[in-house]
Every structure is written in structure tokens, then in C-alpha cells.
Structure 1
Amino acid sequence: MLGYRPRRRDLFLEALLHRSFLPITDGTWTSNERLEFLGDAILNFLVADHLYRSMPDQEEGELTKLRSRLVNRRILAQRSRALGLNTVLLLSASAAQSLDSGSESIVADAFESVIGAIYLDGGLEEAREFVDRTLLSAVDLTSVAALDDNYKSALLEYAQSRSLGIPRYNVLKEEGPEHDRRFTIEVTLGSDPYGIGSGRSKKDAEQAAAAQALEKIHKELPLSTEPPISNVP
């Protein structure tokens, strides 16, 4: 299933154990939340490293948007289901029903927790091989880069659906000569900062900031809630 032979099977049992299953256990088991936390950090690093090396001409703002597209819950859920992780997760009946109804969070988190387990079991290079094989090689980066996304619209839709008002974009820095300006912009919801992005135009910097904000929101939302991601597969 994973294309990886575990040394410590207990890590992979933990990676597949959703917190909803804990009340059914004898109290000695651990949910996959800690492994998901670790796997999320490793996944972001490995994707960032891959993009940095494979796209030397892309600006930081574009790399940020590409990474956000590649690690969003929708894609991770697709890759998780392609591996069949949804069929072996340990869940409560209600969580299983949510999964059958198309919930992306549970299976996306499982993908990240498996990455965390592989890292602890086999090291960074084994985790890199898994991410390369199951995610990066399975996604056409050229097509992803060419997507006409609109993170600002997605963030606005999310903010309005939660009565948070209109996202505000504030210029933090303007640097460089007139022919090669770089802008750094922060987006806030209410009084809270949610993301910072940079680019060669204010528009690009705002999109990068909105992409980072949506990435943050994904991590803070309850399992059953998903913010809209416009034009992201």
C-alpha cells in the first residue's frame, strides 16, 4: 500500500488511528495528531525544497503559491485515497460516516501522519522518497503552475461566510529600483494578521499573502469544515 516496509509497526498503527477511535480503546493508544503535526512540517519542507531546486527562476511569492497548491487538503486527500488509506483508518462510526460523505480533512491528515511515521521509522530520505513518489511525481507541476487561481477571492468568500468582514491588505515594505520593485504585504482578518506575501507587484504580493492565510486557516479549522479554494484541483 505505502511502498515502504515499516520497522516499527506501532508507529504506523498510530498514524492510522483517528482521535474519534480513542474512546473505543483501552486508554493506552495514541491518536495520529502528533504524527500529523510532525508530518505536516516535514511535508512542507520537502515540497519547498523540491520547488526551490526544480524551479530556480520562480520568485518567492510564486513558490509560496505553488507549495500552498500542492499541500492543500484537497490534493492530500486525493493522494491519500489513491493509496487506500481511507480503507484502513481506525475511526468511530460517526467519523467513518463523515469520511464516506467526502470529508477531506481526515484522510489528508492521515497522509501527513504517515509521512511523520516514515520519517521517525526510516529517516528524512525515506520520507522524501515517499513524498516524491506519491505526491510530487503524481502531480504535473507545469499544470499546477499554470492554474489561474484567485486566493484573494477564496479568502474573501471564507471571511464573508464567517462574518469576519473584508480582508485588509497592508503594504509592509517596498524595495528595489523602479524597474525591479518588490512588495511585501500582510493580510488581516479583523485585527488579526493571517498571512504575509511578497511579489514584483502588489497584486502578486496580495495573492501570496492570501494563499498563506488560507494555508493557516486550513490548520485551524475543525475537521468537518473546509474553506473554499478557488480553482485549485
Structure 2
Amino acid sequence: MFKKILRFFTKEKSEKSGSFDIHKKKKILHKIEEFTGIVPQNEAYFLKAFTHRSYLELANEPIKSNERLEFLGDSILGKITAEFLFHKYPNSDEGFLTKTRSHIVNKYSLESIGFQLKLHDLIFYNEKYLSPEKKKIGNVVADCLEAIIGAIFIELGEAAANKFVIKYIIEPQIKNGDIKDDKNYKGQLLEFSHANKLKQPVYTILEQSGPQHNKTYTIKVVVSENIFGIGTGPNKKTAEQEAAMNALSLAMETVDNDE
């Protein structure tokens, strides 16, 4: 599948590099060499990976933004992360793998990694529309990181892309593989909501049934119109955890469909 994608993307014409600041261009290529251990022979895709669409009106010749590379990199990142977790945690269930993948690839995490890698200093963008402040350029940094993955995949191959993603994105987040099978679904749902800039989860008791000494609670949690869950249990805490678990499952499906 990815070979077909590669052929599709490499049909694009390479842009000239006259629209890029020579000093920043050198820093970008040095950064790619630092990431991959390989000196880039074809600079076009790597320069494009650092080009936000707002920069296009400043260029002195026609160029393209990093949006297509971001699309490709996002898909590759998801694939590499899923395969890594599948082999790393052979005894973990689907819920844990899905939750962990979401934590690794969400925009909040990628933004944080992008700033750690100092990508924000190298991105070509128009300050007329974007401020260099961290809170203003965060999504741009996350998108750039995904575009870099796409560029590495096209120019240097799948193995190089795998190495980059595992070294700079996956391993730092799972703390050298020491990640626990967290059963605190309420905490996970809250973390997911914050990371994806959603409203805080709201829990509501739908029903209480049974005698006082043996009650059953039915609770619903709502995060958004498309993300909610219902759970039952012998107490509120258990019912809330089940509701959060079901909401998380639905949330992950929503994220996957958006991708």
C-alpha cells in the first residue's frame, strides 16, 4: 500500500529552492542529517516539509506547502506506531494499544516533541497570519513534524522513516517501554479531552435500581456530540469508569475516522 502512495507523491514536480532563506535552508538540511544520519541529496521535499501555507504569498516563485506531506506523514506515523505497540506489548488488549497509540500520535504530543526538536525556529511561515508565540504556532509545529515523516519516507525510504519515528516520537513518550496498562479510564478520558482541545467530560446518573444494599448504577458521560459512553456498576465509581472506557473506545474510532 505504501509503495503505491510513494509513487503517487513522487509524481509531483520538485520546486526550486530560490524562495528559501539560504541560512535557514542549510539549518534544515543539517537537521535532517542529524535526524537520519544521511546527507539529503534531494532537498526539495525537506524544504517543503517546513513550508506552511501562509508562506506561499511571500515566496518569489511558485512553491507548495507541506500539507500533502503532512497527510502522508500522519498515515505513516499511525502505521509505524501501531506495529511498534503490537510487538512491544504482546499481552496487552486492544483498548490499551489504541489508547497508547492515541497518546503518542495526538497533536498535543507532536507539538511538544516538535518544540523539543526546535522545529519552530526553522519553519517558513508568514507572521502576518501567525505569531511566533508558542501557543499560536503549536499546530503548525505538529504539522511540520508529520510532514518531515512524509518527506523522509519519500526521499530516504520506509526504514529511515521507521527509525526516525521510533527514536524521536515513540520511545521518548513511552519512557523506554515502561508504560503501564492503566485502568483509570476517567483519567485517560480527561487526558484525551485536554489533548484534543475538547470539553471536560460530564458524568450524569441515568438510573439507580435495586435495594439499598445491592444497588446498580447506570451513568452516562458526555465529552462532545460524537463522544459519549454509558456504564453500569454496583457503585458510582465503577459505573463511571465503565462509561469512560466506552467513551474512550468511541473517541478512538472517531479519531481513526478523521485520519
TM-score in terms of structure 1 length: 0.68
Give 1:31's aligned residue: 65
8 Å Cα contact 1:15-1:32 kept in structure 2: yes
**Alignment CA distance shift 1:150-1:138 (3 Å):** closer
TM-superposed CA distance for 1:6, in Å, is: 1.8
Structure 2 residue ranges without an equivalent (≥5): 1-30, 204-221, 230-241
Aligned length: 191
Q: Is the 8 A contact 1:18 1:91 kept in 2?
A: yes
The letter for the 1-side match of 2:247 is E
TM-score, with length taken from structure 2: 0.62
Deviation of residue 31 (structure 1)?
0.1
Q: For residue 212 of structure 1, report the CA deviation from its aligned partner.
A: 4.0
Q: How far did 1:99 drift?
A: 4.4
Equivalent position SS for 1:79: helix
Residue number in structure 2 paired with 1:151: 189
Question: In the alignment, is residue 19 of structure 1 matched against residue 60 of structure 2?
Answer: no
Letter in 2 for 1:205: N
Q: Is 2:119 aligned against 1:78?
A: no
Structure 2 distance, partners of 1:55, 1:144, is: 10
Which of the numbers 124, 139, 145 marks the counterpart of 1:90? Answer: 124
**Aligned residue for 2:209?**
none
Identify which of 48, 63, 85 aligns with 1:51: 85
**Mapped partners of 2:108, 2:102: distance in 1:** 11
Q: Distance in 1 between matches of 2:228 and 2:164?
A: 29
Q: Give the match's secondary structure for 2:246.
A: helix
Over the aligned positions, Cα root-mean-square deviation in angstroms equals 3.5
* 1:9 aligned residue: 43
SS at match of 1:56: coil
- Cα drift, residue 7 of structure 1: 2.5
Structure 1 range deviating more: 99-108 or 56-65? 99-108
Matched residue type, 1:210: A
Over the matched positions of the two proteins, sequence identity in percent amounts to 26
Q: Does 1:205 align with 2:205?
A: no
Contact in 2 for aligned 1:62/1:208 (Cα 8 Å): no
What is residue 178 of structure 2 aligned with on the other side? 142
Q: What secondary structure, in the 3-state scheme, does the structure 1 residue paired with 2:63 have?
A: coil
Q: Please, which runs of 5 or more residues in structure 1 have no aligned partner? A: 168-186, 220-233
**Native 8 Å contact 1:188 1:195 kept in 2:** yes
